[in-house]
Amino acid sequence: MQPTNFLGIYLAKDHATVVCLAVQGRDRNFVGCFSVSIEQDEQPGHRMLAQRIAAACAEKQIKFTEAAVALDCAMFMQHSIHSEFSDVKKITQTVRFDTEEALGTDATDVAIAFKIDSTDQTGSNISAFTAQKQLLAELLGALQSNNIDPVSLEPDVNCLARFVCQNISLPPDARPLFAFLSRRNGYFIAPVSSVWQGVSPTPAASMRTFLLSASQNRNEMLVKQVSMTTALLQTAGVINRLEIFDVADSLVCDDISKKLTVQTNRIDIVGSARLSAENLADCPDAVEFAIAYGAAIAYLDLPHSTNFRSDFMPYQGRKMRLQRTLKFFTVAAVILMFAAGLYGLMQAVQLNKYRAQMRVKFTKEFSAVMFGEKMPNKSKEAARKIGTALRRIKEAQKGFSLTGEEAVAAKLALVLQAFNKCAAATGLNIESVSITDKMITINGDTPPENTLRVFEALRQAGLTILQQRISPNGGRSTFGVTVEPTTKQGGGGQ
């Protein structure tokens, strides 16, 4: 089984981070990663960014089968809404109406993805994500024009949560809150304990994102945001661990721990992905790397409701085209097999009809030449008997010495051969035929003018006339003739 390469893309407005993983079953091997930017371009745009991604893949010889995209949090909005249902199918059917009610505006122009945070007797608490359809159409068009057709478009925080659930392990009694600070964004993730330890690929976690500015004091900002986040996020029990990662490496764990009175630890993103710092040499932002990594393993829980493409421009890529083509050829093959079977059946019916006609004709002829013997059930047996009789006749004509029943049968065959040639034309009527080992005596009558023609037919059949008598009888000639098989010179016997 050959590994399949999956491409994960963290996509912002003016830059992107790409991770490629070779996947075989549940095993994942790192292929490569890189970041591209169009910040300094005079005319930045999604099409130029997609071109840079495709060009970098070609330059680094990164080949992939499927791709998935994580959208930067600046491209979507997150809303907390309540649904009266707990069934995913019913939530999918009603989430647009619930989102419109929460927004207070028409949601026609937005694509909606959602994640169920919790369920109870009253329904479900949902995190709904909305993105402008026009923006998504531009992104997809730019990527598809560069031969990248992503299977999924997800919020970046969801992909980051998937990375956490699959790569970071903590003690069973831990109730952590993860805080990630990239160059421009902040992310809080509070996973469900049974999931974030790797039991399931689905990122079942409460999530929150916010924007960062370069002028902010990250220590102070984090302390303020943690209290707000624990109040907003629906977590199971009190947080007893704070796991942090800062791209700028400006956070001081001891200060944060004292102010929040909670154990604070640093996360090693590179180590949790089982990589070295050299592997991320082309990725300046480790958080964006983790998001792209989480997008690359989206195949683990497809289909999922956090995919914007489930609501807008559903995926119609190579895999689905292959499935449709396979279905078409399957139907065509079934039709072809049915037609071939019908043609074969018609041929068999026609052949059986022809065989039945031939058997009726052959049965009459067999009985005529085999002295009234019944036609065998098997044609091969009938052919064998006819062949045996024919061989005896030929041997008799050549002068082979036959004795007993074989001699009588051979002589009778010669007589029948003569009769078959002349009976109809001469009005022949046979009264008796006597056959001994040495001679044959034939008595019968014909019209006077045809008697000699009967004698000539006997000679042509290989019989020598020993005696003959002819007498008139009421307008016909009665005759008696004694014949024996002609002995031919050089025939190999008498």
Interval 416-453: pLDDT, tens = 888 888 877 888 888 888 887 778 899 999 888 888 88
220: closest CA among 256, 179, 262? 256
In a domain? residue 15: yes
Which residue, among 159, 148, 447, has the nearest Cα to 291 in the 3D structure?
159
Give the residue carrying structure tokens 């029990």: 237
pLDDT at 63: 92
pLDDT attached to residue 208: 87
Residue 195 has pLDDT above 50, yes or no: no
184 in the same domain as 67: yes
Whats the size of the chain, residue-wise? 494
On the question of pLDDT at 202 being above 60, the answer is no
Domain contains 175: yes
What local confidence, expressed as pLDDT, does residue 322 receive? 66
Res. 234: pLDDT tops 80: no
Look at residue 231 and tell me if it is in a domain.
yes
Q: What is the C-alpha separation between 130 and 113, in angstroms, rounded?
A: 7
| Assigned domain for 243 exists | yes
Q: CATH no. for residue 204?
A: 3.30.420.380
Predicted confidence (pLDDT) per residue in 120-156, tens digit: 888 988 889 999 999 999 999 999 999 999 999 999 9
Whether the upstream peptide bond of residue 303 has omega within 30° of 0, thus cis, is yes
Q: What is the pLDDT of residue 181?
A: 95
34 plus 173 within the same structural domain: yes
Give the pLDDT mean for 345-353.
86
398 in the same domain as 289? no
Domain count, the chain: 2
Q: Are residues 257 and 393 in the same domain?
A: no
Compute the average pLDDT of residues 69-73.
Answer: 95
Q: Output the pLDDT for position 231.
A: 76
Residue 362 in domain: no
Residue 373 lies in a domain: no
Q: What is the CATH number of the domain that holds 462?
A: 3.30.70
pLDDT higher than 60, residue 287: yes
Q: How far apart are CA 400 and CA 40, in angstroms?
A: 113
pLDDT band at 397; cut points 50, 70, 90:
low
- Say whether pLDDT at 200 is over 70: no
For all residues of the chain together, what is the average pLDDT? 84
Both 81 and 214 in a single domain? yes
User: By C-alpha distance, which of 196, 291, 295, 194 is closest to 243?
Assistant: 196
Check whether 408 has a pLDDT greater than 80: no
Mean pLDDT of all residues in 84-110: 87
Q: How confident is the model at residue 372, as a pLDDT?
A: 67
Q: Which of 291, 316, 341 is the last residue of a domain?
A: 316
d(CA 248, CA 262): 22
Whether residues 384 and 274 fall in one domain: no
pLDDT higher than threshold 50 for residue 198: no
Q: Is residue 242 one of the residues assigned to a domain?
A: yes
pLDDT computed for residue 235 by the predictor: 53
- Which comes out higher in pLDDT, residue 347 or 54? 54
Please check the confidence at residue 321 and state whether its pLDDT lies above 80. Answer: no
pLDDT of residue 172: 78
| Domain contains 233 | yes
Return the higher-pLDDT residue of 341 and 1: 341
Same domain as 424, residue 312: no
Percent share of the chain, pLDDT over 70: 88
Q: What is the pLDDT of residue 404?
A: 58
Per-residue pLDDT at 494 exceeds 60: no
Of the candidates 432, 426, 465, the residue with the CA atom closest to the CA atom of residue 448:
426
CB 105 within 8 A of CB 130: no
Q: What is d(CA 205, CA 190) in angstroms, rounded to the nearest whole number? A: 5
User: Do residues 290 and 393 share a domain?
Assistant: no
* Same domain (yes/no): 139, 66: yes
pTM value is 0.65
Does one domain contain both 301 and 390?
A: no
Domain that holds residue 463: 380-485
Strand ranges in 25-142 using DSSP code E only, listed in sequence order: 27-37, 66-71, 77-83, 110-120, 123-132
Residue 272's alpha-carbon distances to 52, 170, 226, 293, 432, in angstroms, are 29, 12, 23, 12, 114
Domain boundary among 316, 331, 364: 316
- Give the model's pLDDT for residue 395: 67
Q: How confident is the model at residue 102 (pLDDT cuts 50, 70, 90)?
A: confident
Residues 297 and 401 in one domain: no
**What is the Cα 158 distance to its own chain's centre?**
32
Asked if the model's pLDDT at residue 489 lies above 80, the reply is no
Q: Distance (Å, rounded) from C-alpha 362 to C-alpha 343?
A: 28
Dig out the tokens for 29 from the structure.
């091997």
Residue 390, pLDDT > 50, answer: yes
Domain boundary among 316, 340, 364: 316
Do 132 and 258 fall into the same domain? yes
